[in-house]
Structure 1
Amino acid sequence: MKKIILSLFVLALTYATNAQIETPAPSPFQKVEQKVGLTDVTLEYSRPSMKGRVIFGGLEDFDKVWRTGANARTKITFSSDVTIDGKPLKKGTYAIFTKPGKTSWDVYFYTEHKGSGAPREWDDTKVAAQIRVTAQEIPMDIETFTITFDDLTKNSAVLGIMWERTYVGVKFETPTNAMVDKSIEKVMSGPSAQDLFSASGYYLANGKDINKAQMWIDKAVKMTSENPRFWYLRQQSLIHAKAGKTKSAIAAAKESLKYATVAKNATYIKMNKASLKEWGAM
């Protein structure tokens, strides 16, 4: 009986040690994804609440760097370069730090985004962009710290920071027009050599229209004639052979072999020699 009781005690102790009690986080995490024009913007932050406290000038001192949230540093990620108050900011991830004031806030986009809290030693070289914005009083309490994407247009948005009775807005602009122009230019100029190479390879591998595949690969090879690519020429030889054009297939294989030899690519050298032998050229 004593052994049974001891076993049950050990089992209960093990369960108690491994069990974890789950409770709601005091400052819940939030992740917000927003498309601004053609730019993806992702915001990650934790949201403390007032809970009857005075926030600015109380819990958070005026004129002192604040992590702008709770727990891990508040982070924002831009998929393209943007501008903040006319200042360029490269695409990437940044921590958002602020220095709340009675009438204005300083907002910092800091390259060292990992960690929690404000840096123990502030490094100005890690400030990728800085802006001073007016602090606006709003007519009601915002109980839980909130960051929003406001005033969306095709090429801009305002990062709205709200808590207690304070709102500050940080406007950023995205290069939508330039991105659209680049996309239009690419489409209007026709497919790239890589597009043609990929399409012809797909048609070859899947037994589709071989004449169309030949047209595409011939154009890709021509487009890269100043800097021949042995893998393009290899695919051209296979497509021509598939189309029953052995003579031009041999010519392409010989060219591929020549440039593969220069590049010392043993795999393509071996494949080209095998094909030339198969086609009676070696």
Structure 2
Amino acid sequence: MKRLAVMAIGLAIATTSVAQKLPRTSPLAEVEQTVGLTDIEIQYSRPGVKDRTIFGDVVPYGEMWRVGANERTTIETEDNIKIEGKELKAGKYAILVKPGKDTWQVMFSSNIESWGTNDYDPKDDVLTITVKPEEAQFTENMLFYFDEVVWDKANLVLQWDKVKIRIPIEVDVDTKAWAGIEEAIAKNPKDAMVLRNAARYCADSGKRLDKGLKFIQEANEIKSSWLHKLIEARIYAAKKEYDSAKSSAKEAIKLGEEEAKESGKEFSYKRMIESEMAKWK
């Protein structure tokens, strides 16, 4: 009987220790965005409005909120970034907020393990910013997304119910891009494509234009191309040397038409180039 009792207890313990995988009321989500050359990831849970008054009630004004439900919401960046002009070093951080009617405080905390805000300690905050809430289209489940993503910056947007906030993010794309360019050219100094890509970056960024001009002219010596001449034209235009820009653009059209003629087709980029030329005044 004692043996049976022990077996029964063991069976009960084994039964209760079986892991159960069940759906969460506030499902987990993540959003990833590359800004420039930097990958940024947000992990969070998505609570619903469910006919409740959210801000000022479920989420009280003036009190710390974990931004969602379940585990703390986190942001992870592979490079140093700037948030509202303040540096956030590469790593993973919890996002906490203190909502108000007119302004919200947003804290980035090194404590990513705690559940909720009960053990919040301001000493863990590595960066704090203040943002203004905006009216937004109704959103049932809390949502993070990125918008206005351009060359070196983007907004991280938190939206729920009829409110949203924007968190401005900037990245140092040039340092990382230029390191890659120098490494590629050191390994492949006579590769026309490598030189062309480096020159295109200079034209697009408006930086190191003299080096970009040198790169594209070297690329064109290796292999003559209408695209090389167009990039050359764009670099001249960025330098405000418009006569040289137009001359290079005309050469690009001429080369493009010659290449297209050989294949029996029209040069489809002619109008695009002429449209750019019209702006170089």
Q: State the AA in 1 paired with 2:175.
A: A
* Distance of aligned partners of 1:21 and 1:48 in 2 relative to their CA distance in 1, 3 Å threshold: same
Of the structure 1 ranges 182-191 and 93-102, higher mean CA displacement relative to structure 2 is found in 182-191
Alpha-carbon distance between aligned partners in 1 of 2:125 and 2:17, rounded to the nearest angstrom: 43
1:26-72: per-residue Cα shift (whole Å, max 9, x none)? Answer: 01011222211111111111111111111100001101111011101
- Contact 2:136–2:159 (Cα < 8 Å) also in 1: no
Q: Please state how far the C-alpha of 1:189 moved relative to its aligned partner.
A: 3.7
TM-superposition CA deviations, 1:168-219 (whole Å, max 9, x none): 000101111121112222333448xxxxxxxxxxxxxxxxxxxxxxxxxxxx
Q: How has the CA–CA distance of structure 1 residues 18 and 127 changed in structure 2, closer, same or farther, with 3 Å as cutoff? A: closer
Identity rate, percent: 32
Distance 1:63 1:190, change over 3 A: same
The whole-number CA distance in structure 1 between the counterparts of 2:60 and 2:187 is 58
Asked if the contact 1:103–1:136 (Cα under 8 Å) also holds between the matched residues in 2, the reply is no
Is there any run of 5+ residues in structure 2 with no aligned partner, and where? 1-7, 189-281
Whether the aligned pair in 1 keeps the contact of 2:31 and 2:144 (CA below 8 Å) is no
1:53 aligns with 2:47: no
Which residue in 1 is equivalent to 2:66?
Answer: 67
Q: Quick one: structure 1 residues 33 and 121, their matched pair in 2 at CA, closer, same or farther if it must change by over 3 Å?
A: closer
Q: Are 1:115 and 2:111 counterparts? A: no
CA distance in 2, matches of 1:114, 1:50: 26
Q: What corresponds to 2:146 in structure 1?
A: 149
| Matched ranges for 1:119-134 at <5 A | 119-123=118-122, 125-134=123-132
| Structure 1 length-normalised TM | 0.59
Q: 1:14: Cα distance to partner?
A: 9.1
* Count of aligned residue pairs for this structure pair: 186
Distance 1:108 1:187, change over 3 A: same
Task: Determine the C-alpha separation between the residues in 2 that align with 1:119 and 1:79.
Answer: 29
Alignment CA distance shift 1:17-1:115 (3 Å): closer
Residues in 1 aligned to 2:41 and 2:132: alpha-carbon distance in whole angstroms: 24
Letter of the 2:117 counterpart = A
CA contact (8 A) 1:104 1:132 kept: yes
Partner of 1:175: 172
Deviations 1:122-148 (A, max 9, x none): 22x322211111100124x21111111
CA RMSD of aligned residues (A): 2.7
Question: Gaps spanning 5+ residues in structure 1: where?
Answer: 1-8, 192-282
Q: Using the alignment, how far apart are the partners of 1:126 and 1:41 within structure 2? A: 21
